[in-house]
Amino acid sequence: MTDDRESRTKISRRELIIIVLLVASAVINYVDRANLSMAMPQIERHFALSPLQIASLLGAFFWTYALLQLFGIVGWLTDRFQPGWVLFYGYLLWTVVTGLTGLATSFTAIFVLRLLLGLGESVAYPCYSRIFAGMPQQYRGRANSAIDAGTKMGPAAGVFIAGLILAHLGWRSLFIIFGAGCMLWLLPWGKVMPHVEPHEEKPLAQDFLEARHSIVKILKHRSAWGTFIGHFCGNYFYYFLLAWLPRYLMDEEHLSVEAMSNVTSGVFFLIGCSTLIAGWASDRLVARGVSPSIARRGMVAGGLTVGSCLVFSSLLTGHQVASLALLVFCCSGYGAFSSNHWAITQTLAGPTMAGRWSSLQNGIANFSGIIAPWVAGIVLARQGSSRLAFSIAGAVTLAGALAYGFLVWRVEPVDWEAS
């Protein structure tokens, strides 16, 4: 089943501007969700927080962010209404919440604001997918890889800026400045946002019942479960490194703070570069007539297979150079996965179901942000070393490669009318 969106071979200037703005929103998305970690030492002292309260604040975002997508709520909103406006109001909410965090006067207030931040940011990826699903097939790899590269490289710049603000103005100014400054994005987005036609409008009760039925349709497809499991496993790799790599480099590879910072930044920069290259390469293959099943799925499964070599970390105790070389190798492969997994989902779901499918997929995948650090903490407590946690992350990543390789078959639009 194909449509005119699949047959188009050119991308318009307006679509290029839209992609640039969506990449900018993804950068801001990840900066806003990460700034609490940067500010936590000052917030901890200010409110005299316990370790349990700190953990609660750091995890609050993921509960609303994941659950609203898992239950299909934001996917339904994205499919029923104009995704450009859904993103507009979601973005407005998360930037307002970011600014209000700087005015919070208690642990409870910050906790509630983090829940609201997750609510606002939960619309982002379903909206991205719904918008990209209407663009030519041979541009989706680059569009998605640009989004993903922004989520990897953006926080590095955000950390640098946040460090300056924290050092000179304090944690409250950090949130107020980021919240107010990032609202400027709404001005150009309001002018160029795409006008994706919503589905036929029906009474809300009827539409909601049909949405539930459509979600059941998605869950019946084996390819959907391949993308759900594969994305969860791929996210596990990333969230594990995001949470655990700095501590590992200092405590077990005995790097200085400066060296740790350089290696960590370099690793995520490498993932971003690999993502861009793999996205460009897969688009070139599709443009030359290679089927998306081979080009997209090959990149994703192959990238996760390379990333799964992290499983050998436990064998390299005491070999610093070899351990770091393995880390670099695995991250270069991971970038190939992250450039193409959304393009697979957008192709399979098509414009009709892109928002709901992406919502379910991203909801499941982001529970890895809770599970991966928790597993690593248990391993460290029992083993006295986190190397086994790296091996576990490698094994989980391999499971993701198998999910994409054996559960996702033909990467082409599903015929929903026949489902």
Listed by start position, the domains of the chain span 4-192+202-418
CATH class of 4-192+202-418: mainly alpha
Cα–Cα distances in angstroms (integers) from residue 358 to residues 281, 298, 344, in the given order:
23, 20, 11
Which residues does 46 contact at the CB level (< 8 Å), separation at least 6? 171
Cα(154)–Cα(159) distance, integer angstroms: 9
Position 61 confidence tier, pLDDT thresholds 50, 70, 90: confident
379 pLDDT above the threshold of 70: yes
Cα(150)–Cα(155) distance, integer angstroms: 8
| pLDDT value of position 86 | 92
Q: What is the mean pLDDT of the chain?
A: 82
Average pLDDT over residues 164-177: 87
Which residues does 205 contact at the CB level (< 8 Å), separation at least 6? none
Position 89 confidence tier, pLDDT thresholds 50, 70, 90: very high
Cα(262)–Cα(156) distance, integer angstroms: 11
Tens-digit pLDDT profile for residues 140-152: 667 777 887 787 7
Average pLDDT over residues 392-397: 95
Average pLDDT over residues 170-194: 92
Classify burial at 200, counting beta carbons within 10 Å of its beta carbon; exposed 0-12, middle 13-18, buried 19 or more: exposed
Cα(229)–Cα(398) distance, integer angstroms: 11
Q: Which of 21-30, 241-250, 270-279 has the highest mean pLDDT?
A: 21-30
Position 251 confidence tier, pLDDT thresholds 50, 70, 90: confident
Which residues does 360 contact at the CB level (< 8 Å), separation at least 6? 69, 70, 72, 75, 215, 218, 219, 224, 228
Q: Which of 3-17, 55-69, 96-110 has the highest mean pLDDT?
A: 96-110
274 pLDDT above the threshold of 90: no
Cα(280)–Cα(182) distance, integer angstroms: 29
